[in-house]
Amino acid sequence: MGVAIEVNGLTKSFGSSRIWEDVTLTIPAGEVSVLLGPSGTGKSVFLKSLIGLLRPERGSIVIDGTDIIECSAKELYEIRTLFGVLFQDGALFGSMNLFDNTAFPLREHTKKKKRDPRHRHGEARTGRLGR
Instruction: Give pLDDT tens digits for 101-125.
Output: 777 777 777 766 665 555 555 656 6
Q: Where are the domains of the chain?
A: 5-80, 91-131
| pLDDT for the residue 6 | 96
Dihedral pair phi/psi, residue 42, rounded to 5°:
100, 10
| pLDDT tops 90 at residue 81 | no
Which pTM does this prediction carry? 0.67
Which has the minimum average pLDDT: 21-35, 57-71, 94-108? 94-108
| pLDDT for the residue 3 | 85
Q: Does domain 5-80 have CATH number 3.40.50.300?
A: yes
Segment 53-80 shows an average pLDDT of 94
- Mean pLDDT score across all residues of the chain: 83
